[in-house]
Amino acid sequence: MIHPYAHYPARAALRWPDRIALIDGERRRSYRELDERATRLARALLALGLGPGERVAVVQENRIEYVETVIAVARAGGVLVPLLGALTGGEHAFMARDADAQFVIALGSDAIPRAVEAAGEQAKVLALAADEGALNLASLADGQSAERLAIDRPESSLAQILYTSGTTGDPKGVTHSYASVAAAMGAWASAFALGPEDRLLGQLALSHFGGRAMDACWVAGATLVILPGPDPKAMLGAIAEHRVTLVLAIPTLLRMLLDHPDAAGADLTSLRAVVYAAAPAAPSLVRRSLERLGPVLYTGFGQTEAYALNTFMDPAEHVAALAAGGERLTSVGRECAGVAQVRICAEDGNALPPGEVGEICVSAPWVTPGFWKRPELDRERLRDGWLRTGDLGRMDAEGYVFLADRKEDKIITGGFNVYPAEIEGALSEHPAVAECAVFAIPDPKWGEAVRAAVTLRPGHDVEPEELVAFCKEHLARFKVPKAVDVLDELPKSGVGKILRRALRKPWWKGQERGVHGAE
């Protein structure tokens, strides 16, 4: 089997050679140009001694060269290890060492110092820019042949090592094979019926969630419009200028987009799919999005370990949920039709009846074959063909899945289980609240107590006591936060997920939580 990251761009170059594959500011790449450049880079890597299955770490930047490089690594038979650009040099070094990377590639001069730190003594540093600290891979590629190249390997071969964002601890390497990558790519393109006329916005990190827009384009022959980062003003401008049809967004970014002063007058009529995922969305945000964007919202549940959409809710279901009162707007949809299976399990692995909270388990061809050098995680998380996701949730009688929380974030207060997502959903309904996070603090009487932190929407002001009173109107007494902190910003991971553990950690200094919330 040819690596799908090598095969699909090559197929697109045969079918649509002159169609624009990439837009990056004023720069363009047709599929023919993308295919040829990736091949030259792949041959350069082979000339440097890259062997099949050897790891290549790439410091992520959202630009044309990143796309060319990840295709090149695949085409040369290497294993891609993307290093999220927003992370620190120390985090990059941990990942590169953990993956036993043979090469670390920097795309521009600014990233070379981080690549050098990540490479340490074990790996060679390559760059797509001239610099004394790195071998210029771009110059070497210029002298290579553009004749098509792809190394054929078994479908079980290692394709990628993707490091988790570290929301619950140190990053862990999640492996994906040729087969699991191909399954995920096909599932994303199929779910949104992508075709050559589509234009997808690449504003999220292309090494992580944004990568699903990138590789789905290759399957469909669509165009990726690259932005350096998720700036709302730039996004609104790009959607209008390039007639973008699909946007992936985490809920935080969707809120920022709607709150931006330019949003009211922006031309967003080209959008036919806005996919929000990666974190729970407040019903109030979903309602606002439907009102402003129309019936274009999709959501679903996925994660690095199973990175297609394992559950799915389409625009018609969003509209129906809104008409029915909005309760189902908190759902991530139902099990995807076809090959994915989802169930809610007890600790012993047995499926729970509708309505009961348990661990979300997934069986699908895009599930990770295993964790990199972590056999204990394989034993814990991969059982009898099922992935134990570590996320808690429930399923209603019609099969709709509702997220509760990560197992580590569950709060036990006075013997009651409290799930932060439920409280965050209530807090988010307050008109002043922009973002919120709920976490456990130690309590001498109840063991743990509920506390919250929020940021406010522009132009709003509110006292913490008012937010506590608001919660009392909507939640059972034991779920109401004892206090609410109003902050300028909430701590987030490199991919924009709110880090509850960072808020929780100072309160537990010198103390240990129960096993459900071990740090």
- Class of CATH domain 410-513: alpha beta
DSSP-assigned letter for residue 338: S
Rounded CA gap, 413 and 363, in Å? 33
What per-residue string of b and e applies to 173-212 under the rule 16 or more CB within 10 Å gives b?
bbbbbbbbbbbbbbbbbebbebeeebbbbbbbbbbbbbbb
Span between the terminal Cα atoms of the chain, in Å: 41
Task: Supply the DSSP symbol for 508.
Answer: G
Question: Does 3.40.50.12780 match the CATH number of domain 230-406?
Answer: yes
Question: What kind of fold does domain 4-185 have according to CATH?
Answer: Rossmann fold (3.40.50)
Domain 230-406 shares a fold with domain 410-513: no
Phi, psi of 268 (to 5 degrees): -115, 20
Instruction: Specify the residue for token string 């790891």.
Output: 55
Residue type, 501: R
Record the pTM: 0.85
* Stretch (H or E) spanning 82: strand 79-83
Sketch the domain layout of the chain as residue ranges: 4-185, 230-406, 410-513
Phi-psi group of 243: left, alpha or beta (phi > 0 → left; psi -120 to 50 → alpha; rest → beta): left
Return the ∠ at Cα 476 (arms to 470 and 478), rounded to 5°: 105
Residue 353: strand, helix, or coil:
coil
Q: Is 316 exposed, middle or buried (0-12, 13-18, 19+ CB in 10 A)?
A: exposed
Task: Please report, to the nearest 10 degrees, the dihedral formed by the alpha carbons of residues 266, 269, 271, 272 taken in order.
Answer: 160
Tens digit of pLDDT per residue, the chain (519 long)? 999 999 999 999 999 999 999 999 999 999 999 999 999 999 999 999 999 999 999 999 999 999 999 999 999 999 999 998 888 888 899 999 999 999 999 998 889 998 999 999 889 999 997 776 788 999 999 999 999 888 999 999 999 999 986 544 568 999 999 999 999 999 999 999 999 999 999 999 999 889 999 999 999 999 999 999 999 999 999 999 999 999 999 888 898 899 999 999 999 999 999 999 877 677 888 999 999 999 999 999 999 999 899 999 999 999 999 899 888 988 999 998 778 999 999 988 899 999 999 999 999 999 999 999 999 999 999 999 999 998 889 999 999 999 887 778 889 887 778 888 889 988 998 999 999 999 999 988 788 999 999 999 989 999 999 999 999 998 888 899 999 999 999 998 777 778 888 999 899 887 766 534 434
